Amino acid sequence: MTSADSHDPADTTTGVRLQKVMAAAGVASRRVCEDLIAAGRVTVNGVMVREPGTRIDPETDRVTVDGTAVQLDTTRRYYMLNKPTGIVSTMRDERDRPDLRRFTDALEDRVYNVGRLDTDTSGLLVLTNDGELAHVLAHPSFGVEKTYIAKVEGRLEPRTLTTLKKGFDLDDGFIQADRAKIISAQSDSTHSMIELTLHSGRNRIVRRMLDAVGHPVVELVRRQFGPLHLGTLRSGQVRELTKVELGHLLTVSRAQNRED
């Protein structure tokens, strides 16, 4: 049992008032936070609290509002990058290739990338200084889903989707897609577009899967990472996650931690 698990949310003698902590975290004004608490919409370590005077330890206790996690540590930062092709997913490349520093040097906080996208793959990359969350999102055992759009050689057939979803063996073990669908196929059958969702974090896994079914990748972009969507973020742009996005991301992270 962690210290967060052992904290009694009914304790009003130590710690910081819950509504003050929530307001500092950007949930809402103190008055609105008090209303949320009184309405039973707030939990501390999984226990509903209705008393606004409840005191908590912001360093160890975990708060949710309407089931969505709240980050109480205001020093943590979370960004989304639409990584262009030609960029190595590292903060300092030993071979002096273009790396992520060109996007992170302008940020006020020192952050690190969560997982990697290979040099020829573009799309959504998370940058953060939250080591716990980064571990959960990047580690294959936690199974966070990623969705990719791939332009591939040849005309995709429905039976190929079936193969991808049923799974097959690669050199490093069995693999299967969680979901797969054809987006479009060129009339001349030279290329097709496929959307592929999987939770594996293995190296170049999408490219290897599509190679194995006879459709080598021409272009590949990651559009979704867990609950985050790339949306309209342009190639090479960085933005901070919204409160809603961060809440969803933390909720996924904490749920995975409980299952681990």
> What are the tens digits of pLDDT across the range 168-188?
999 999 999 999 999 986 656
Quick: pLDDT tens for 5-49: 445 554 556 789 999 999 999 999 999 999 999 999 999 999 999
Asked if 151 contacts 217 with a C-beta cutoff of 8 angstroms, the reply is yes
Q: How far apart are CA 179 and CA 172, in angstroms?
A: 21
Q: How far apart are CA 185 and CA 183, in angstroms?
A: 7
Q: Tell me what pLDDT residue 258 has.
A: 62
Q: How far apart are CA 132 and CA 35, in angstroms?
A: 31
Confidence of residue 210 (pLDDT cuts 50, 70, 90): very high
Q: Tell me what pLDDT residue 141 has.
A: 67
Check pLDDT > 60 for residue 55: yes
- The class (CATH top level) of 16-69 is alpha beta
Identify the CA nearest to 163 among candidates 128, 206, 212. Answer: 212
Quick: pLDDT tens for 216-248: 999 999 999 999 999 999 999 999 999 999 999
CATH code: domain 78-141+227-242 is: 3.30.70.580
Asked if 196 contacts 182 with a C-beta cutoff of 8 angstroms, the reply is no
Identify the CA nearest to 259 among candidates 176, 174, 144. Answer: 144
Kindly state the percentage of the chain with pLDDT values over 90: 73
Q: How far apart are CA 239 and CA 125, in angstroms?
A: 11
DSSP bridge partners of 103: none
Q: How far apart are CA 125 and CA 119, in angstroms?
A: 12
Sign for the pseudo-dihedral over CA of 69, 70, 72, 76: positive
- ∠ CA 205-199-46, nearest 5°, is 155
Give the H/E segment covering residue 175: strand 173-175
Q: Detail the DSSP E strand segments found in the chain.
A: 16-17, 42-44, 47-49, 55-56, 63-65, 68-70, 78-83, 112-114, 122-128, 146-153, 168-170, 173-175, 179-185, 191-198, 217-225, 228-229, 238-240
Q: Tell me what pLDDT residue 1 has.
A: 37
Pairing of strands 63-65, 146-153: unpaired
Q: How far apart are CA 251 and CA 70, in angstroms?
A: 8
Q: Catalytic pick from 57, 93, 109, 118?
A: 118
- Taking domain 145-225, whether its CATH number is 3.50.50.60 is answered by no
Per-residue pLDDT, averaged over 58-80, amounts to 93
16-69 and 78-141+227-242, same CATH topology: no
State yes or no: is 109 an active-site residue: no
Residues 6+ apart with CB under 8 A from 253: 69, 132, 133, 136, 137
Q: How far apart are CA 131 and CA 133, in angstroms?
A: 6
Query: What are the residue boundaries of the structural domains of the chain, listed by start?
Result: 16-69, 78-141+227-242, 145-225
